[in-house]
Amino acid sequence: MSVETLKAQINTVETAFKSSLEKSAGQDGLEALRIQFLGRKGALTDLFKLLGSLPAEEKRLGGQALNQLKNLMNQQFQDRMNDLGESRNEQTFFDFSLPGDVGYVGRIHPISTILREIKSCFTSMGFSVRQGPEVETEYYNFDALNISKGHPARDMQDTLFIDESNEIVLRTHTSPVQVHVMESQAPPVRIIAPGRCYRRDTPDATHSPVFHQVEGLCVDEGVSFADLKGVIQTFAKRMFGSDMKIRFRPSFFPFTEPSAEYDFSCMMCKGKGCRVCSGTGWVEISGAGMVNPAVFKSVGYDPEKYTGYAFGMGVERIAMLVYEVHDIRLFYENDMRFLKQF
């Protein structure tokens, strides 16, 4: 055998090796390649065996060519192994079993949820939703609602005046919206006015200086107290279930005549008597009544032609009953342990 024949075989093996190396994939592929070309019974070993059949004077040249091939194959094989190792190391640092960064999924505040349900209930009965300013003049907050100067509701204890002359107030109820609406349109009127109200209350389990009210107003010809009771009854059943009962107790408000407080049968004990209802079986919700003719006069409606009813409710109060929350302050503390429950 001549050294030229050996070199031709070296070229063949080298080409095959490079081509296989290019195609090989992964740890297993490289191991198979190593056995095929560099193993004890591999192609390189076979070539070295041919060295013995060369004429003595050509053995040195043949040996050099074989060693070149051996170095080249080892080098290229090692490079490939290193590449694979690096990518494997990168993967080791990425531990798929680690917990990920989970973003908070927001949710609707319980007060907003109840407010939406209240709105949905009344809009389904034909009421439209109207908003008004939270900063009011004394006139809209009191005078136009037949609450004259000297009435206890105007007392500094209850009201947050924001100017020295006591003419601008943070509204103490959403009733001023009634007046704005009646001033801006002729009857019929059928609205609810939801929103924030402000009073100088010291916070405790049932009082907060900021709270939410929904005020309702219906004005038309021939509107009676029976219509008011029907609307409140429908609301009670829709909010708390079909076995809910309502009752009205005589009361006084300057802007309604006659006036009433209305109660729902206790949703906790179903009227049997429990801690929430102080054993009475009834839970006080808010006030209502037929709109006082004096209010109609102040907005230019003819009290001989039109009658109307108005009612109010505290949104926090409803939310506390629906969710069985016993302290109103929990709604405003933004404690995630509380809010996550809704």
Residues that bind Zn ion (CB under 5 A): 266, 268-269, 274, 276-277
Instruction: Put residue 271 in one of left, alpha, beta given phi > 0 → left and psi -120 to 50 → alpha.
Output: left
- Nearest residue (CB) to Zn ion, 21 versus 276: 276
Answer for the pair 186, 305: CB distance below 8 angstroms, yes or no: no
- Nearest residue (CB) to Zn ion, 43 versus 277: 277
Bridge partner residues of 194 (DSSP)? 214
- Nearest residue (CB) to Zn ion, 160 versus 274: 274
- Nearest residue (CB) to Zn ion, 188 versus 241: 241
Residue 316 CB coordination number (10 Å):
23
Taking the complex as a whole, the smallest distance from the CB of residue 110 to Zn ion amounts, in Å, to: 21
CA dihedral defined by 63, 65, 68, 74, rounded to 10 degrees?
-80
- Nearest residue (CB) to Zn ion, 90 versus 324: 324
Bridge partner residues of 213 (DSSP)? 195, 314
d(CA 224, CA 257) in angstroms, rounded, equals: 12
d(CA 331, CA 196) in angstroms, rounded, equals: 14
Taking the complex as a whole, the smallest distance from the CB of residue 237 to Zn ion amounts, in Å, to: 18
Taking the complex as a whole, the smallest distance from the CB of residue 271 to Zn ion amounts, in Å, to: 7
Taking the complex as a whole, the smallest distance from the CB of residue 284 to Zn ion amounts, in Å, to: 12
Taking the complex as a whole, the smallest distance from the CB of residue 279 to Zn ion amounts, in Å, to: 7
Q: Is 302 helix (H, G, I), strand (E, B) or coil?
A: coil
Taking the complex as a whole, the smallest distance from the CB of residue 268 to Zn ion amounts, in Å, to: 5
Report which residue's Cβ sits closest to Zn ion. 266
Taking the complex as a whole, the smallest distance from the CB of residue 245 to Zn ion amounts, in Å, to: 12
Q: Which residue has the tokens 């959403």?
A: 174
- Nearest residue (CB) to Zn ion, 193 versus 321: 321
Structure tokens at 307: 């009658």
Residue 73: closest CA among 28, 3, 1, 24: 24
Residue 123: closest CA among 191, 31, 182, 171: 191
- Nearest residue (CB) to Zn ion, 302 versus 327: 327
Longest dimension (CA), the chain: 136
The rounded Cα 288 to chain-centroid distance in angstroms is 34
d(CA 140, CA 298) in angstroms, rounded, equals: 10
Taking the complex as a whole, the smallest distance from the CB of residue 282 to Zn ion amounts, in Å, to: 8
Residue 256: closest CA among 209, 223, 230: 223
Taking the complex as a whole, the smallest distance from the CB of residue 214 to Zn ion amounts, in Å, to: 23
Residue 125: closest CA among 244, 222, 242, 233: 233
- Nearest residue (CB) to Zn ion, 135 versus 205: 205
